[in-house]
Structure 1
Amino acid sequence: MLDIHKVRADFPILSQKVNGKPLVYFDNGATTQKPQVVIDAISKYYQEINANIHRGVHTLSQLATDAYETSRGKIQNHINAKFAHEVLFTSGTTHGINLVTNGFASILKPGDEILVSALEHHSNIVPWQMLCEKTGAVLRVIPMNQEGELIMADYDKLLSDKTKIVTVNHISNALGTVNPIKYMIDKAHEVGAAILIDGAQAVPHMKPNVQELDCDFYVFSGHKLCGPTGTGILYGKEAWLNKLPPYQGGGEMIKEVSFEKTTYAELPHKFEAGTPNIAGGIALGTAVDYMNEVGFDNIQQQEKELLDYGTKRLLEIEGLKIFGTAKEKTSVISFNIEGIHPYDIGTIIDKLGIAVRTGHHCAQPIMTFFNIPGTIRASFAFYNTKEEIDLMVAAVKKAQLMLS
């Protein structure tokens, strides 16, 4: 069991007030808060070992390189990648997806098919649309049902020998749906297709085991894992990373350069051009350590209790409807109140210290499916409490009264 008071003490921002009220932070789907150890790791790098990595023989460069590569090893162990060089540092999920789509531009031909799900964030739609425009490939959409679940029978029918890659999120950012990705990975491989999993919303709640899943690519952002913004990871199977061309040219990603020809470095450096976010990469390793110290069993138990309690309390409000009622979902509740725009609710409860997200959550196709402009999204993390949910429910009721 979590000692929730001890956990909350690890996060300095949670003790502050917003608009004179105690902060209730329920926008964890957008970004998680940072524990003091992560903040300290960033400061320590700049105060003690600030230097460029992989290039210098001097002591600080060696210390910085060791810290950065140690972080890569931590993440390798965390996701159970076979090799450390299958773990690429990126600036976030979007960067990782674009790196893969750039590589597939040299593989796809007109008429090839890409399968994307109806539950995707724009970051896992737009790059594939751009790839289709560039290559003549065709984008096919795996449909969803009214509960916010992907329809697996339709997925099975869409798969064919034309399918070259499937891309799907592990968990929906807008609805909290946990997708059956192991089934989807196995089915994609049956037709010889690669598969990319967008794990941005999954990694705060669970540890992905990429070897067990057998996915070809898995991407996520550090800032949703209690790590710094501007950090992320692209895991790719060694064979696929060797097959794809470099994403960017520059320093670090080269082996030899002449004006006649350039040869590229081995993995992972082939895809890590230029000076990276060194402090962020090191601090991401610290964040992974912190999350494992809290324990993902404890995290899941706490968040399941918050999801169940929050669902029960919100449904007490007359006229409130929850969007996303999948059998398998994580601690996200997207809801609206009949006759009231979600933005208006969000604005009023912010004055009461409640931070939620309103709008389409960069998932407009989902909102179009439900024929709504957007939702109010309360996304809970392990450091949240039932008492905070009570404060949110009271604030929503007050806003409803004001706007009715």
Structure 2
Amino acid sequence: MQNRDQRKVIEILVSILFIVFITDTHIVKAQNIIEKVTKKVFSTSKDSTRSGVFMVLPALGYAQETGAEYGIASNYNFYFNKKDSSIRSSNILLMGTYTTKKQSNIKLQADIWTDNNDYHIISELRYRNWPSNYYGIGMDTKKADEDLISQKLFRAKLEIEKRIASKYYAGVNIQYDYVQFRDKEIDGIFDDALLLGKKGGQQLLLGISQLFDSRNNVSYTTQGYYARAKLAYAPKLWTKEDFEGGNFDADLRAFFPLHPKLTLAAQAIYRSTFGKTIPYYAYRDLGGDMMMRGYYIGRYKDKNYLASQAELRYRFHPRFAAAAFTGVGSVFSKEYNARFIPSYGGGFRYFFSLEHNSNIRIDYAYGEQRPGEKRQSGFYLSLSEAF
């Protein structure tokens, strides 16, 4: 009897020791995983192999007009030739989202620098079946006039620039757009608007570009200048309401190192649409996550767009940075006067690749507050700097 009790006690002790061992093993494994993740997140060492880096973010959201939205945004940074130490970092961005109301948004973009940075290639494929809000044309539109319209867009774009001097490039570009619109609300202002191309249309843009680029890094610039101008012509090929005219786009940027960890960045853009026939789908939009943050993209819309912004970037750790920004901008035309409005906010950056200086950008921005309306604002989560 005594031996039987002793065996039971021994069995219980062995079981307890086994449970403790297993628990300790899992705790050690969990601690090791946490240590590895922490070391990776805060690591200050670069990848000496110059390998590519891939990042995926979930895209989740909800809006009344779309229902629940889910998908991914992914970014791949790489060197076209790892052996070329002077080559700039290239990237491929893929984003795809779908909603419970069967709407979809798919975008594939590439920005490629070839050997010795001899060629710069930009491409885009996009399909968008997504609702958007229409408020009218010009800078005096009202939130109360908001009209929900459905939009279908297919876009294919290719731009190729060749280096002809140390920091100077010249190139050609082609872009095709197919667009459809439909007013989803009865008695909405979109149906009553006197606009060409309200049902949509097609455009083929053929153009040239010029680029001066002395930036020290294309992903997170701390010093240098960037100036790009693009002129494109759209011939009338399909219907009488198709776009026949031209687009001119200018983008100027400057970066000044105030301190090894502090950079002042500035940008100015001018976008103009002109010609004999200018349909609605060729108008320019104010707002979004790149310029004039804090405004719904398309909240103000017209044939011309002029805006500028400045951003103070403080990289207090190799993996982390903070930013504060402000801007001003307006759309305008012969029919509607310019009215420059403010944009301001701040954000946080996490650099998931030190070799490529690739980061996740989180911004919150404010816009103007019109009489009788809430102050406009926006939250942004992106896989690149605004500029």
Q: TM-score range by the shorter chain?
A: under 0.3
Structure of larger gyration radius: 2
Q: Which has the higher helix share?
A: 1
Q: Which has the higher strand share?
A: 2
User: RCO higher in 1 or 2 (8 Å CA, sep ≥ 6)?
Assistant: 1
For normalisation by structure 1, the TM-score amounts to: 0.22
